[in-house]
Structure 1
Amino acid sequence: MVCLGNSRFSCWSGIPAEASDINGNWARAGGNARVRIASCGADICAVNTWIKPGTPKEKVGGKLVMSITEDSEGSYPGTAFDPQRDLIYKLTVKVDGDRMTTKGCVIAGLICKGVEWTRIN
């Protein structure tokens, strides 16, 4: 069973991955990083499993703790905490099959960055 969010749970069970399933292994567009996304307590964690050598400010084992809840097919809004940088982001994750887009914003949404991801095995 997979549950998303920290106060309102969206849970489902079953072995087949749905089109909007966020869990699994993902590669960042451009090839700089790979992450494993899975439940960690009441939240979801994205843990770096591989970082391209020479990539600044990233390391294997670094993680992002996401408090997100699926609100419609493939869309997960919420917040994320980056313990390495001690930052909290407003976050939106959209999953469409084997493609994922993340958009994180800080400073009341003034500074935002989007990243494209591809599901890997």
Structure 2
Amino acid sequence: MSAWKTLGFSTAVLVSSVALASVAMAGSANGTWKRSNGAHVLAFDCGGGLGLKVVKSPEPAKVGKTIMCGGKPSGPNKWKGTVLNLDDGQKYSGYVTLNGGSLTLSGCVLGGLVCKDDTWSRIN
């Protein structure tokens, strides 16, 4: 095998290993999360990405509402997508970040210059 073929093969193996390692290191946001207001949100696979749906709330009209569907990975333990603010009915750019036992949802305007965060704790 020529030196160029060996180098090309070695590079392909290295790139594949790094890609697999980053997938393995990424955590799963799937499960049920509790908001500070007592509501429970289910994180699940939706539309080929991350989904968020209210499954329990002190405001019964919000139960069953989808906050996000199709959130795409944007880094290790991070997803990006469109989020629905159930309080004002508006859609915003959104980011979800998993950090151990907490999940932070950020809704942003002005291209991400102004964001509002809500951090949730894992129930299961």
TM bracket (short chain): 0.5 to 0.7
Q: TM-score, normalised by structure 2?
A: 0.64
**Closer, same or farther: CA 47–91 of 1 in aligned 2, 3 Å:** same
- In structure 2, the partner of 1:74 is 77
Contact 1:43 1:65 in 2 (8 A): no
Counterpart of 2:102 (choices 99, 102, 108) is 99
* Larger RCO (CA within 8 A; separation ≥ 6): 1
Structure 1 residues not aligned, in runs of 5+: 1-11
- Encode CA deviations 1:32-78: one digit per residue, 9 max, x unaligned: 310111112324321111112xx4x9521111123322222212123
Structure having the larger proportion of residues in helix: 2
Counterpart of 2:38 (choices 20, 29, 32) is 32
Residue identity over aligned pairs, in percent, reads: 29
Q: State the number of aligned residues.
A: 102
After TM superposition, the structure 1 = structure 2 runs for residues 76-91 of structure 1, keeping only pairs within 5 Å, are 76-81=79-84, 86-91=89-94
The answer to whether 1:49 aligns with 2:55 is: yes
- In structure 2, the partner of 1:61 is 64
Q: CA RMSD in A?
A: 3.1
- In structure 2, the partner of 1:6 is none
